[in-house]
Amino acid sequence: RKKVTTHRLRKMKENGEKIAMLTAYDYSMARILDAAGIDILLVGDSASNVMAGHETTLPITLDNIIYHASSVSRGINRSLLVADIPFGFYQGDSKEALKSAIRLMKEAGAHAVKVEGGQEIKESVERILTAGIPVMGHLGLTPQSIYKFGTYTVRAKEKSEAEKLLRDAKMLEEVGCFGIVLEKIPAELAKQVAESVSIPVIGIGAGPDVDGQVLVMHDMLGINNEFHPRFLRKYANLHEQITNAVSSYIEDVRSSSFPNESESY
Ligand code: KIV
Ligand code: NA
């Protein structure tokens, strides 16, 4: 099948074809997800949580994301590879933002970058775009701002925040972003955003009336059994399956039933 491009994603929106996006952080999983037909693979700064065990996305570094993204890039043939610019590597000034984005493209093989925020980071977004690097926005519950929010609950329920989000989405489209992620906002607002911009809007906890969906791979595969937000649909229970597999192995080693004759030289 043909490679997914930012151009193709826009056509998908025009044709009403939904876009399927997941996160990936390593080569082996990226290979599976890519071969299964996923449209966009995101090397999210959620690696800070699910790969490194941090409580928030704030501690992960650009070098960490480059390591994960370069691993993922070696596992894909078809998907569009988007990499998050982590906290502290684009907000300070737009030149630093551009440098970070260039490193992700050059050293990690990313096809595009994602950044959190609207008006506040407009200059950084614009400067990255001047280098020909596609940018994806991210609005709503932006986890890099968790200490400002103080809670992981639904964003933009109030009129003023909803209006700002709509303005930010239009601004991101106007400056030339190729897509926007909307995280944990009312479905009705997400629908309004998707209808008012011509670029694809990808939701996570943003209801069905957007142009595509994204989930964190570890969450949808049920690797983490302690995370059950309403928006999460679990497509597997790998926590249980892995636990069972490892328990069987331990049992077999202890009882000397592994390895058997046919597994020996
Ligand atoms: O880092 C991440 O996994 C993300 C998605 C939830 C959109 O930004
Ligand atoms: Na992220």
Q: What is the 3-state secondary structure (H, E, C) of the chain?
A: CCCCCHHHHHHHHHHCCCEEEEECCCHHHHHHHHHHCCCEEEECCCHHHHCCCCCCCCCCCHHHHHHHHHHHHCCCCCCEEEEECCCCCCCCCHHHHHHHHHHHHHHHCCCEEECCCCHHHHHHHHHHHHCCCCEEEEEECCHHHHHHHCCCCCCCCCHHHHHHHHHHHHHHHHHCCCEEEEECCCHHHHHHHHHHCCCCEEEECCCCCCCEEEECHHHHCCCCCCCCCCCCCCCCCHHHHHHHHHHHHHHHHHCCCCCCHHHCC
| CA atoms of 185 and 176, how far apart (whole Å) | 23
Instruction: Tell me the pLDDT band of 29, cut-offs 50, 70 and 90.
Output: very high
- Determine the pLDDT at residue 157: 98
Task: Report whether pLDDT(1) > 80.
Answer: no
Instruction: Tell me the pLDDT band of 176, cut-offs 50, 70 and 90.
Output: very high
Mean pLDDT of 106-131: 98
Give me 110's structure tokens. Answer: 């990313």
Mean pLDDT of the chain: 98
Question: Distance of CA 47 to CAs 10, 15, 55, 248, Å?
Answer: 27, 33, 11, 29
Q: Whose CA is nearest to atom 8 of ligand 1?
A: 44
ipTM of the predicted assembly exceeds 0.90: yes
Instruction: Calculate how far, in angstroms, residue 247's C-alpha sits from the geometric centre of ligand 1.
Output: 32
Ligand 1 lined by 23 (C-beta under 6 Å): yes
Instruction: Tell me the pLDDT band of 198, cut-offs 50, 70 and 90.
Output: very high
73 is in an annotated binding site: no
Ligand 1 lined by 116 (C-beta under 6 Å): no
- Which atom of ligand 1 is nearest to 47's Cα? 1
Domain spanning 6-220: CATH 3.20.20.60 = yes
Mean pLDDT of 188-199: 98
Residue of 214, 215, 217 to test ligand 1 pocket, by largest number of atoms within 8 Å of CB: 214
CB-proximal residues (5 Å) to ion ligand 2: 44-45, 84
Mean pLDDT of 210-232: 96
174 is in an annotated binding site: no
- Determine the pLDDT at residue 225: 86
Tell me the per-residue pLDDT of 96-117, one tens digit each, with 9 for 90 and over: 999 999 999 999 999 999 999 9
Give the number of whichever ligand sits closest to the CA of residue 86.
2
